[in-house]
Structure 1
Amino acid sequence: MNIVDRMYLDTYREIRDEGISDEGQEVRPRWSDGTPAHTKALFGRVHRYDLSRGFPILSLRRIAWKTALDEILWIWQKKSNRVADLGSRIWDAWANYEDEEGYATIGKAYGYQLGREIEFPEGRMDQVDRVLYLLKEDPGSRRIVTNIFNHDDLGEMGLQPCAYGTNISVKDGKLNMVLIQRSGDFLTAAGPGSFNVVQYALLMHMFAHVSGLEVGELLHVVTDLHVYDRHFDVIDRMIDHSKDSGEKELPKLKIKRRVEDFYDFKVEDFELEGYETSYSTGRIEVAE
Structure 2
Amino acid sequence: MRHPEYQYLDLIERVLEYGDERVDRTGVGTRSLFGAMVRFDLSDGTAPILTTKRVYWKTAIKEMLWFLTGGTNIQPLLRENVRIWTDWPLAAYRRETGESVTQEEFERRIVEDDGFAAQWGELGPVYGKQWRRWMGSDGREHDQIGTLIRALRETPASRRLLFHGWNVAELGEMALPPCHMVYQYHVTSDGRLNCLLLQRSVDLLLGAAFNYVGATALQLMLAQQAGLRPGELVWVGGDVHLYRNHFDQAREQLGREPRALPKISLAKRAESIDDYRIEDFEVEGYDPHPHIKADVAV
Describe the SS at the equivalent of 2:177.
coil
Aligned to 2:86: 92
Question: How far apart, in 2, do the equivalents of 1:151 and 1:140 lie?
Answer: 29
How many residues of Structure 1 are paired with residues of Structure 2 in the alignment? 268
Change (3 A) 1:103 1:37: closer
Q: How does 1:116-195 map to 2 (within 5 A)?
A: 116-117=133-134, 125-172=142-189, 173-190=191-208, 194-195=209-210
Change (3 A) 1:2 1:258: farther
CA deviations 1:143-186 (Å, max 9, x no partner) are: 11111111100111111111111111111201111111110000
Change (3 A) 1:273 1:149: same
Aligned to 2:129: 112
| Contact 1:118 1:126 survives alignment (8 Å) | no
Is 1:277 matched with 2:288?
Answer: yes
Describe the SS at the equivalent of 1:231.
helix
Cα root mean square deviation, aligned: 2.4
Q: Report the Cα offset of residue 258 of structure 1.
A: 2.4
Q: Report the Cα offset of residue 101 of structure 1.
A: 5.2
- Per residue, is there more helix in 1 or in 2? 2
Aligned to 1:28: 25
| Contact 1:49 1:219 survives alignment (8 Å) | yes
Q: How does 1:54-65 map to 2 (within 5 A)?
A: 54-65=46-57
| Contact 1:256 1:271 survives alignment (8 Å) | yes
Question: How far apart, in 2, do the equivalents of 1:78 and 1:92 lie?
Answer: 18
Question: How far apart, in 1, do the equivalents of 2:50 and 2:285 lie?
Answer: 12
Is 1:68 matched with 2:60?
Answer: yes
Q: Report the Cα offset of residue 136 of structure 1.
A: 1.8
Q: Which residue among 215, 221, 228 is the counterpart of 2:236?
A: 221
Give the counterpart letter for 1:177 in structure 2: C
| Contact 2:70 2:128 survives alignment (8 Å) | yes
| Contact 2:13 2:254 survives alignment (8 Å) | no
Question: How far apart, in 1, do the equivalents of 2:252 and 2:122 lie?
Answer: 36
Aligned to 1:40: 31
Question: How far apart, in 1, do the equivalents of 2:43 and 2:69 lie?
Answer: 27
Question: How far apart, in 2, do the equivalents of 1:124 and 1:160 lie?
Answer: 19
So what's the TM-score if we normalise by structure 2? 0.83
| Contact 1:139 1:170 survives alignment (8 Å) | yes
So what's the TM-score if we normalise by structure 1? 0.86
Unaligned runs of 5+ in 2: 94-114
